[in-house]
């Protein structure tokens, strides 16, 4: 099996539950054919670089999956038929797919303490040479 990455653009007027239904529909097309879905990422509605099927906006969806080439042919055939999909592209990932690293969420209390410590470490000492203070006092008396 090969790893594929597919990006498709859903019509901008399709929102909410209808949009979720379309994404689920194409996920089931893949799983029914024996593909393994690795990642589904909805990028949201964005402005298109150029007009596609009289539309200037669309909702982008990224799907990464492992499948046989025949599965991809059926997947793309169904996308061509669906009027709610305005554009799509599927490519082979030659290096495979690496899941993005998991980012740990730091509790607010711990992050405030870490920020305070970082600020203290980066601040320069508040001590200034005595001559500088004296010259500053002299300048204010002269003015």
Which pLDDT tens digit goes with each residue over 17-66? 999 999 999 999 999 999 999 999 999 999 999 999 999 999 999 999 99
Nearest CA to 70 out of 23, 33, 39 is that of 33
> In 3D, which of 18, 35, 11 has the Cα closest to residue 90?
35
Mean pLDDT for the stretch of residues 131-139 = 54
User: Is this prediction's pTM over 0.75?
Assistant: no
Does position 132 have pLDDT exceeding 70, yes or no? Answer: no
Give Cα separations from 75 to 8, 13, 32, 68, 122 (angstroms).
11, 23, 10, 11, 55
CATH code that applies to domain 2-92: 3.30.70.60
Q: How confident is the model at residue 97 (pLDDT cuts 50, 70, 90)?
A: low
Q: Spell out the domain ranges in the chain.
A: 2-92, 108-135
């Amino acid at each position: 099996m090969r790893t594929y990455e597919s990006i498709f653009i859903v019509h901008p007027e399709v929102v909410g539950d209808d949009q979720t239904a379309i994404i689920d529909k194409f996920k089931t097309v893949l799983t029914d054919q024996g593909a393994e879905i690795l990642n589904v990422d909805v990028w949201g509605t964005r402005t298109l670089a150029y007009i596609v099927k009289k539309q200037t906006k669309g909702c982008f969806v990224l799907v990464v999956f492992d499948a046989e080439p025949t599965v991809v042919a059926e997947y793309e055939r169904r996308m061509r038929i669906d009027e709610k999909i305005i554009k799509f592209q599927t490519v082979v990932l030659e290096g495979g797919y690496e899941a993005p690293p998991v980012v740990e969420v730091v509790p607010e209390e711990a992050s405030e303490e870490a920020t305070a410590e970082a600020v203290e470490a980066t601040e320069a000492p508040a001590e200034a040479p005595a001559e500088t203070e004296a010259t500053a006092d002299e300048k204010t008396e002269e003015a």
